[in-house]
Amino acid sequence: MILFKTTDEQKVRLYEFATLMKNNGLAARFIASAVEVAKIYEGAFDLFCLWADEEDNNEKENLISIIQVEIDEFHEQPKKPVKKPYIKHSDLESIAKDVKKFKAHLKNEVDKWGGITKLSKKTGIPQPSLSRFFSSDIKKRSW
């Protein structure tokens, strides 16, 4: 979502739209959440405008569904920046060894279970793709 700052005029329009929504029987919790999002997200504000101008009830319901998606996505956003894992350059060789070891163990388990062909049939992954995966080696890069 791209944040934007609503003007005082836009806020007044939002409150007018909120009153219309309340008069149309929409839940106060939905309206409050929608206003919160529309104050900082222009797309949600535009959906309010479309809803207010729409005369077809089915289309109004569709717009309400879209506004609800925007509310849900807003609430799913992390409240602060997420720190991503960092892999040190010096750790790459060790990680490559671990991956090789895991692939060898996985191949042994697949062989005990019935082989690549059986795995292919059960998973829907093409047999040549599985064969390439298990036979490919992690090539030492110029790290």
For residue range 17-56, list pLDDT tens digits in order: 999 999 999 999 999 999 999 998 888 999 999 999 999 9
Q: How confident is the model at residue 143 (pLDDT cuts 50, 70, 90)?
A: very low
Report CA-CA distances (Å) from 121 to 17, 67, 129, 130.
56, 43, 12, 11
**pLDDT in the model for residue 140:** 55
Give the tens place of pLDDT for each residue, 53-69: 999 999 999 999 999 99
Q: What is the pTM of this model?
A: 0.54
Spatial neighbors of 63 by CB under 8 A, at least 6 apart, are: 47, 50, 51, 54
Q: Which tops the pLDDT comparison, 6 or 130?
A: 130
What integer pLDDT is reported at residue 135 of this predicted model?
Answer: 86
